[in-house]
Amino acid sequence: MELARFLPYRLAVLSHAVSRSIAMIYSNRFDISIQEWRIIANLGEREPLSAREIGEHVDLDKVQMSRALGKLTDKRLVLRGIDSRDKRRASLRLSARGRAVYERIIPIALQREEQLLSVLSEEERSQLQQILDKLELKAALLRRETVD
């Protein structure tokens, strides 16, 4: 196998490089980690959510999720409540302070995304979105097949 041409390896390396380039900005300005940002971003888009619901969209194991949520609640960026539908589950939402951090990071993340995509034409950007959609769907199907 030629590792430099192995798609899963290349995607992992690219993902890590992109995440790190954005994380360097928000970790310095807002004192949050990549894991914490992923949770904030999910809550910023749709809240309230349980830790399990966030976990379905974020690549964090239970230990990482627990640590990141603990730090976010200690920093008073995320609030824990009781889920009104299921009293056994915690309902998570951004605090006003967490929402402010989210609103300040979004333009930074979008600017970094634009810088990254600037090497692609509009047609290439469209193709990239289509390819990513197909790969994500196939990966989800393969994951389900592995579980069954």
> H helices within the chain, ranges in order?
7-30, 34-45, 51-55, 62-74, 96-117, 122-147
Say what the pLDDT of residue 28 is. 86
Please determine, for residue 101, whether its predicted confidence score (pLDDT) is greater than 90.
Answer: yes
As to burial, measured by CB atoms within 10 angstroms (0-12 exposed, 13-18 middle, 19+ buried), residue 3 is exposed
Residue type, 31: D
Nearest to 27 by CA among 116, 103, 105, 100: 105
The mean-pLDDT minimum among 75-79, 91-95, 143-147 falls in: 143-147
- Token pair, residue 5, equals 């041409």
- Structurally, at CATH architecture level, domain 8-117 sits in Orthogonal Bundle (1.10)
Summarised one tens digit per residue, pLDDT across range 18-74 is 888 888 888 888 999 989 999 999 999 998 888 888 888 887 888 888 899 999 999
Q: Is pTM beyond 0.75 here? A: yes
Could you tell me what percent of the chain has a pLDDT over 70?
A: 94
Beta bridge partners of 92: 49, 80
Widest Cα–Cα separation across the chain: 52
Domain parsing of the chain, residue ranges: 8-117, 121-148
